[in-house]
Structure 1
Amino acid sequence: MSTTDRFVIVGAGLAGARAAQTLREEGFAGGIVVLGDEPERPYERPPLSKGLLTGGAEPDSVFVHDAGWYAAHDVDLRTATRAVAVDRAARTVRLADGEQLRYGKLLLATGATPRDLAVPGGHLAGVLRLRTLADSRRIGAALVDGARVVIVGAGWIGLEVAAAARHRGVTVDVVETAALPLRRVLGDEIARVFADLHRDHGVTFHFGAEVHEIRGTDRVSSVRLADGTELPADAVVVAVGVRPNTELATAAGLAVENGIHVDASLRTADPDVHAAGDVANAYHPVLRRRLRVEHWANALHGGPAAARAMLGQPVSYDDLPYFYTDQYELGMEYVGHAPPGATDRVVVRGDLAKREFIAFWTAGGRVLAGMNVNVWDVVPEIRRLVTAAHPVDLDRLADPDVPLADLLPAEPPAERRAG
């Protein structure tokens, strides 16, 4: 086998593992090398802030494939292995130990890294971040009954960790610079639902607040806010977002801006190099804009899409952004994309107080995104409303007595025949 028949995947997360799986399913008989800098085989990340922290998920349930899958499918999985450079002219990936891997096609699925909190004391033991399986284990070890945890950042990860901590009897303070959790994403009305949910479960919020210093000798003992408030802490979880791991792409001369620029087939300007998952800033053919999506579904579906494109198949990756969360008794799914400032009306269908509703972010009568909270089996309808080419009647959209199906555009004939 020529080394030009080898496909190299840098990144052994969900996107990389699913890409390798799809290559084999599509009949690719060449070599596949998957490089991951963590010691574990590929795993899924949602349980790290959900079931693993609450104790509801079995430890082995996070892995994408069983341990023997890679050898059985002739996939050369190399864990604890770091790629340090890509030479596009030579079509090689250089590893930290000096080995040069020649590739025919290359997939960059390098993911993202949690952002640091640049304050004094940020280096102390007990200051934790959540990205890897090892991170989740460290946080889980800190969530013991009676412990005191300060979470910096009230985004999705911060709130999920807060819910898991309260489930395990931990005292939780959440520090957030904004006036509400998730305000930038959801807006005030829906953000209050999440604030009230966590308050009802004993979380203390500190909104409009900034961390001035993390205190302790060798280990964290408290967090001091800019206004002088001091919060006792046995552990601090920093959840202030992530940055895409674009270093390899930048050094290789690929276009990078908030991720690696790829087209709708997840291909860079170099036809032999693709990118998928958190690191890809892809053109979305339905939304007609670039998006970098950090959620599980993007890795789940983006890896296979990139694999098919690497095989020369026609690919237009048009899956709508989708994510979900589980916090206490609240379950939620979100479909679509409503960037800050794009919405002129949020339509609520259901009961906010009971936390059983669907919220729709709209602009000019068109649905940009929808979020179902404790209302199930509606994601297909929400997807069709988002992709509809015409406005809907927003008053009827808000009326729970009007079936969502009555608001949908007519299915095209081919779609009707397929059903």
Structure 2
Amino acid sequence: MPAQPRVLVVGASLAGLRSAEQLRSAGHTGPITVVGAEPYLPYNRPPLSKDVLADQRATTAADLAGRLAFRRRASTADVEFRLGEPVASADLADGVLVTVAGRSLSYDGLVVATGLRPRRLAVPGPLDGRHVLRTVEDCQALREAILTRPQHVVVIGAGFIGCETAATLRSLGHAVTVIEPAGPPMARVVGATLAAAVQRHHERTGIRFVIGAGVIAFTGTDRLTGVLLDTGEEIPADVVVEAVGSVCNTEWLAGNGLDLSDGVLTDNQLHTGSARPTVATGDIVRFPNPLFDDTPRRVEHWSTPTDTAKRAAATLVALLAGEEPAPVVFAPVPSFWSDQGDLRFQSFGSPALGDEVRVEEGNPEHLAGGLLATYHHAGRHLGTLAINLTADRQRELRAAFAAPVPTV
């Protein structure tokens, strides 16, 4: 009997775990190995900027990873996890990966699920006191930095991670300043009007915002003492959190003819086009979603790993069997949530693609009381944003985007 095809999943976060689970669900019975850069089994990241950061009980990064670990399905009990050993390079033609330790791993099918890492500011100044928030090590380092006494904290970046972190730190009694050169918080996603309303809401809790100024340096000698802006202002800081976006972990794929200009470009079936079966999942994959248009985009939302893993697994199983993937259009509904103090944001669709915002319910000056906004372009409803609405109402809103897309 011929050997069953071997699948390697590179990336041991949620996308990698869901990919292994969906491969089993799609009928793959051969060996699966998940290779991860971190030394921990897949764990839940969103709480790191919220309740885990707020919990000041003594712990370690390993404890946090164990507390946040996902429960594995019984079908993946035989999946091998190689952890703490990132992949350094890949030969997609020969089906061989090489880890940073020099270990070679061969495969018949490949799942790319290496995700993102935080972008860092390239400005001069001391490194001590600068933090990012992506991993349990990042969270533990920030927890330790703020544990002993109230701090002056500067959060650079007013996206979702920046605002979540700022709200959490403010709730712990720290003085928090948020710097955002591009405009009010989350403006790219929620639009200028609601972004200004979100800023006013957070300002009422004591968070200071500096909008329109850029960071040019960190001051201090061995440890930072402040943040210098291009306006000439220096903001005192004991701790800085850089929340200025992400970088795709694609360097290990260089030299294989893939489009890595923004993540990994695939077709609608999440196939990279490589001769040896290769698919991509999670927030690293850039694919066209006909729910909106034919432009390939990456989606950095909580729903993305699960949605893409299911489609990618079906594609890979078909390719390994020498078959064409089933001609089913892949049109997932993007969704995300964000908890910021007493505000819970829930979004469906893609509000950022709209250029018209309609406040359907509620008052932007009283966001805590509930608000519903819809986002449109050329008459099409492309996204919905709910703030502090009930779970039942949120399910109704999601269903509005769940209309079936025809088979090709």
Give TM-score, length-normalised by structure 1: 0.86
Are residues 1:321 and 2:331 paired? no
Counterparts of 2:159 and 2:389, CA distance in 1: 22
Partner of 1:305: 311
Counterparts of 2:25 and 2:212, CA distance in 1: 50
Partner of 1:142: 145
Q: Are the equivalent residues in 2 in contact too, given 1:350–1:357 (CA < 8 A)?
A: yes
Greater CA drift, 21-30 or 176-185: 21-30
Distance 1:251 1:130, change over 3 A: farther
Partner of 1:378: 393
The alignment-based identity, stated in percent, is 35
Task: Report the alpha carbon displacement of residue 56 of structure 1 after superposing the two structures with TM.
Answer: 9.6
1:395-410 matches, cutoff 5 A? none
1:260-275 matches, cutoff 5 A? 260-270=264-274, 272-275=277-280
1:204-215 matches, cutoff 5 A? 204-215=208-219
Q: Are the equivalent residues in 2 in contact too, given 1:114–1:241 (CA < 8 A)?
A: yes
Distance 1:56 1:349, change over 3 A: farther
Deviations 1:60-99 (A, max 9, x none): 4421236xx7997111101111111111221111222222
Q: Given the alignment, which residue of 241, 245, 249 partners 2:249?
A: 245
Greater CA drift, 277-286 or 51-60: 51-60
Counterparts of 1:191 and 1:338, CA distance in 2: 13
1:107-118 matches, cutoff 5 A? 107-118=111-122
Partner of 1:338: 351
Letter in 2 for 1:332: F
Q: Are the equivalent residues in 2 in contact too, given 1:367–1:385 (CA < 8 A)?
A: no
Counterparts of 2:169 and 2:16, CA distance in 1: 31
Distance 1:89 1:246, change over 3 A: same
Greater CA drift, 107-116 or 92-101: 92-101
Counterparts of 1:19 and 1:10, CA distance in 2: 10
Q: Given the alignment, which residue of 285, 290, 297 partners 1:291?
A: 297
Task: Report the alpha carbon displacement of residue 286 of structure 1 after superposing the two structures with TM.
Answer: 1.9
Partner of 2:286: 281
Letter in 1 for 2:212: G
Greater CA drift, 57-66 or 13-22: 57-66
Distance 1:107 1:222, change over 3 A: same
Give TM-score, length-normalised by structure 2: 0.88
Deviations 1:21-76 (A, max 9, x none): 2223344221111111111111122111122112299934421236xx79971111
Task: Report the alpha carbon displacement of residue 325 of structure 1 after superposing the two structures with TM.
Answer: 0.5
How much is the aligned-residue C-alpha RMSD, in angstroms?
2.4
**Any stretches of 5+ residues in structure 2 without a counterpart?**
58-62, 319-324
Distance 1:291 1:382, change over 3 A: farther
**Any stretches of 5+ residues in structure 1 without a counterpart?**
389-410, 413-419
Distance 1:197 1:2, change over 3 A: farther
1:15-414 matches, cutoff 5 A? 15-55=15-55, 59=64, 60-65=66-71, 73-121=77-125, 123-144=126-147, 145-270=149-274, 272-288=277-293, 289-312=295-318, 314=326, 316-339=329-352, 342-355=354-367, 356-376=370-390, 377-386=392-401
